[in-house]
Chains A and B, each alone.
Chain A
Amino acid sequence: MKYVKGLKCRECGREYPVEPIYVCEFCFGPLEAIYDYGKIKRALTRKTIEKRPKTLWRYKELLPIDGEPQVGLSSGFTPLVKADILAKYLGVKELYIKDDTVNHPTLSFKDRVVAVALTKAKEFGFDTVACASTGNLAHAVSAHGAKSGFNRFIFIPASLEQSKITASIVYEPNLVAVDGNYDDVNRLCSEIANKYRWAFVNINIRPFYAEGSKTIGFEIVEQLGWDTPDSIVVPCASGSLLTKVWKALKEFKEIGILKEVETKIYGAQATGCSPISTAFKQGTDVIRPVKPNTVAKSLAIGNPADGFYALQAVRESGGAMEDVSDEEIIDAIKLLAKTEGIFAETAGGVTLATYIKLLKEGKIDKKDCTVLCITGNGLKTAEVLDGKTAEVYHIKPNLASFEEALSMIKQKGGK
């Protein structure tokens, strides 16, 4: 069954058939998948969804594939954790963590987008998948690509940290480290994507890939008992995830799964790379590209392709955007771990720290039911905590030494 009608230019509205293309030939605007919602409404109800396996594919009619899912068959449907301890600490009424730190198999929300992108790449008949990435996306394309039998080309800047290289190369893709600065790598990859007939997930497959992010939004609604929260906080790099979370809520309304959508969408960035939140705060539509300088590397996109649409979504929903310092990010990572037992990567720190800032500014109400999208696992960026964690007690292997330490712990008020 096909539910996708085609692709449509977000700027001029011209329509295109379902093909591995991503920009409008006329105005160079980005293309987006469009659906036959009437048909989906008849096929997809709460009941049908509830009967399906707990993966992101339970909403498959709202994803841009023509046949059955082929990749990422265990991805998605991550826990929605009621964060009572953190809520109490912050003095807020109702708080949830959408916990994509445990997405299968590569521990970030990129498992969602890549599951959809590679299923589509199979349908298009590609034998090779590729991406340009400094982290989560590289891990997801390498892993899902291995499992689904693709040749894989992963492009990274040569300066990337060893831990990130290991977490990609272990799946044995063709890992290509490009000598040059960030702009050089960007330019090269867009040239390669034009020349080789490969499925570049975030270039020529982008209209399909990006749709995978909607599943975070669908899951939040279902896991709240088919209800919407008052506010959702989403971390932004290119701005795609935020745009798609908003689209997900609107689509659920469109097909009658939700009656009303009154959720406000909030965008979170690191101050060291905040082109979208800066535009929001200045009240303009103009996204000025920046050179990123932040610990939140997974969000360090200085020239965000979907920044304009993210701004629109935030404004349309009545939300807001904020950005936070590296110090606030680290503190938030630690706070989330010690209250809720969830170790998030820097993007998660950005989300929680931004939430705290928005509470202080009165932009999110303490009485709101809020969901924080925590999108990646802390073990991937553990080095950012070096020298910034609580202290370890070193003792000799005897009871006296232990008891000495214990009395120190008690003196400090520890339990």
Chain B
Amino acid sequence: MSEVKKLRVRLTFPQELIKEPVLFRMAKKYDVMPNIRRARVTDTFGEMILELEGTETNLQQGINSLREQGVVVELIEGDIIE
């Protein structure tokens, strides 16, 4: 069993994905636990600030699958390299 890690991310959903349960599906498929802290959803845009908990591999695969579906996944602290 590899170590469980936590990752704080911001997800930005394009319009066509707002009504889809993309996060839920990803969480189930890759055994990643999402812990939602903040969300803003309008008709044209959705943003979610959350913590994802899972093994390194599962987190990576889960994030990759979100990205493949068109969700923008970023560290919530923004880019750290100045």
With contacts A27-B37, A303-B74 taken as known, whether A286 is within 8 angstroms of B81 at the C-beta atoms is: no
Q: Are B80 and A190 in touch, CB under 8 angstroms?
A: yes
B16 contacts partner chain A, Cβ-Cβ < 8 Å: no
B20 contacts partner chain A, Cβ-Cβ < 8 Å: no
With contacts A23-B77, A182-B79 taken as known, whether A28 is within 8 angstroms of B12 at the C-beta atoms is: no
Task: A135 to B82: give the CA distance in the assembly, Å.
Answer: 7
Can you offer 16 A-B residue contacts whose CB atoms are under 8 A?
A22-B77, A23-B8, A28-B8, A28-B50, A132-B81, A135-B82, A136-B82, A137-B82, A155-B81, A182-B81, A186-B79, A190-B77, A190-B80, A301-B78, A301-B82, A305-B78
B49 contacts partner chain A, Cβ-Cβ < 8 Å: yes
Of all chain B residues, the one with the shortest Cβ separation from A305 is B78
With contacts A26-B37, A286-B12 taken as known, whether A133 is within 8 angstroms of B81 at the C-beta atoms is: yes
Which chain B positions have C-beta within 8 A of A301? 78-79, 81-82
Q: Are A28 and B49 in touch, CB under 8 angstroms?
A: yes
Which chain A positions have C-beta within 8 A of B74? 289, 303
Q: Are B12 and A302 in touch, CB under 8 angstroms?
A: no
Which chain A positions have C-beta within 8 A of B50? 28
Question: 19 new A-B pairs (CB below 8 Å) besides A29-B49, A132-B81, A185-B80?
Answer: A23-B8, A23-B76, A27-B38, A28-B37, A28-B50, A28-B76, A29-B38, A30-B77, A135-B82, A137-B82, A189-B81, A288-B12, A298-B82, A301-B79, A303-B78, A303-B79, A305-B77, A306-B78, A307-B78
Q: Are B12 and A238 in touch, CB under 8 angstroms?
A: no
B75 contacts partner chain A, Cβ-Cβ < 8 Å: yes
CB distance from B57 to the nearest CB of A (A): 15
Of all chain A residues, the one with the shortest Cβ separation from B5 is A191
CB distance from B60 to the nearest CB of A (A): 10
Which chain B positions have C-beta within 8 A of A284? 45
With contacts A23-B8, A26-B37 taken as known, whether A304 is within 8 angstroms of B78 at the C-beta atoms is: yes
Q: Are B79 and A305 in touch, CB under 8 angstroms?
A: yes
Interface string of B26-52 (1 = CB under 8 A from A): 000000000001100000010101110
Task: A77 to B74: give the CA distance in the assembly, Å.
Answer: 37
A145 contacts partner chain B, Cβ-Cβ < 8 Å: no
By a beta-carbon cutoff of 8 Å, the part of chain A in contact with chain B is 11, 22-23, 26-30, 131-137, 155-157, 182, 185-187, 189-190, 202-203, 237-238, 284, 286, 288-289, 298, 301-307
Q: Are B75 and A286 in touch, CB under 8 angstroms?
A: no
Task: A72 to B49: give the CA distance in the assembly, Å.
Answer: 36
Of all chain A residues, the one with the shortest Cβ separation from B7 is A187
Which chain B positions have C-beta within 8 A of A302? 79
Interface string of B1-12 (1 = CB under 8 A from A): 000000010001
Of all chain A residues, the one with the shortest Cβ separation from B6 is A194
B72 contacts partner chain A, Cβ-Cβ < 8 Å: yes
Which chain A positions have C-beta within 8 A of B81? 132-134, 155-157, 182, 185-186, 189, 301
CB distance from A252 to the nearest CB of B (A): 27
Most buried by B among A22, A28, A189, A305: A28
Q: Are B75 and A187 in touch, CB under 8 angstroms?
A: yes
Task: A286 to B14: give the CA distance in the assembly, Å.
Answer: 11
Q: Are B78 and A133 in touch, CB under 8 angstroms?
A: no
Q: Are B76 and A289 in touch, CB under 8 angstroms?
A: no
Task: A303 to B77: give the CA distance in the assembly, Å.
Answer: 9
Most buried by B among A134, A135, A202: A202
Of all chain B residues, the one with the shortest Cβ separation from A110 is B82
Task: A134 to B81: give the CA distance in the assembly, Å.
Answer: 7
Task: A250 to B12: give the CA distance in the assembly, Å.
Answer: 32
Which chain B positions have C-beta within 8 A of A288? 12, 72
